[in-house]
């Protein structure tokens, strides 16, 4: 078993980006500028956005954080999005999800300028990705692809089972791994919460991408020997033995599955750091596009 060390790889990617930013500055150009809109005080979102801001500082990006109250109107949020769309000094921006229930998430994401949509959530970018055209790829699937590439994991002709069908992870990674590309050229099966007997499919998978949102869902008896297991899940589970009163776990029962897999991502330290690294890479791309 070998760990797919997302923290290590993401740091390498950040260093590569930092060098490109230095080159931009030496040519008299401004650095990339990433903005984030955060609505409310969700703990996980605050942690995630804070990590993005710190990463920007380390690699020489400019960053802007716009914090809005939980009960703001949809019109105020839209006004902030329009302002960022029209600001030529902002190369890319994200609207941190989830949004409060009184705000239409789908409507908001469609208002982001596709040229600044570094999260890759806009239907325009999603459609281009689905047609294997150059686009902003959603950061988490992009990170998974990069992890597979840098560990030289063979995907051509392999059977990939993706658990979960969200537009953020499940659907895009199923498309990317079935594309005529490298990594890619896989035969992909997409299963979800309504699939009967999920283990029937997972036992045949050479590569598993688990993004269901259920802690410790995937057990060792659900995979075949030497499968590659990529865990996208991240959930806070109460643990009074920890100082914070909780521990972070993934969708995979790591301790049992690691004994049977050839490669596996840890949680934390696997896909999470890669997501931030690819968001930064998308922002650099947006800067170059300008």
Strand partners for 38: 67
Query: What residues are annotated to the active site?
Result: 52, 96, 119
* Cβ atoms of 90 and 64 closer than 8 Å: yes
Measured CA to CA, the distance from residue 250 to residue 216 in angstroms comes to 6
Strand partners for 238: 246
Among all chains, which residue has been given the structure tokens 């790829």? 137
Beta strands 246-249 and 235-238, pairing class: antiparallel
Where b means 16+ CB within 10 Å and e means fewer, 108-123 reads bbeebbbbbbbbbbbe
| Full DSSP string of 79-112 | HHHHHHHT-TT--EEEEPSPPPTTS-HHHHHHHS
* Cβ atoms of 203 and 219 closer than 8 Å: no
């Amino acid at each position: 078993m070998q760990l797919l060390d997302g923290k290590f790889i993401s740091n390498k990617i950040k260093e590569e980006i930092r060098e490109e930013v230095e080159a931009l500055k030496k040519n008299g150009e401004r650095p990339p500028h990433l903005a984030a809109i955060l609505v409310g005080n969700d703990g996980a979102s605050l942690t995630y956005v804070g990590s993005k801001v710190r990463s920007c500082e380390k690699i020489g990006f400019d960053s802007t954080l716009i914090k809005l109250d939980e009960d703001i109107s949809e019109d105020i949020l839209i006004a902030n999005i329009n302002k960022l769309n029209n600001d030529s000094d902002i190369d890319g921006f994200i609207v941190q999800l989830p949004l409060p229930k009184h705000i239409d998430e789908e409507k908001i994401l469609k208002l982001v300028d596709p040229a600044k949509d570094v999260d890759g959530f806009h239907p325009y970018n999603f459609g281009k990705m689905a047609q294997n055209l150059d686009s902003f790829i959603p950061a988490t699937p992009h990170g998974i692809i990069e992890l597979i590439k840098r560990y030289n994991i063979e995907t051509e002709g392999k059977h990939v089972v993706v658990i979960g069908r969200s537009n953020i992870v499940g659907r895009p990674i199923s498309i990317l791994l079935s594309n005529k590309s490298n990594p890619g050229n896989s035969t992909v099966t997409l299963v979800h919460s309504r699939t009967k007997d999920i283990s029937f499919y997972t036992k045949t998978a050479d590569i598993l991408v688990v993004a269901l949102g259920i802690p410790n869902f995937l057990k060792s008896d659900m995979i075949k020997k030497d499968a590659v297991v990529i865990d996208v899940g991240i959930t806070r589970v109460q643990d009074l033995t920890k100082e914070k009163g909780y521990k972070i776990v993934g969708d995979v029962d790591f301790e049992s599955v690691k004994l049977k897999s050839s490669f596996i991502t840890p949680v934390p330290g696997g896909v999470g750091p890669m997501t931030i690294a690819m968001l930064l890479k998308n922002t650099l791309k947006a800067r170059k596009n300008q």
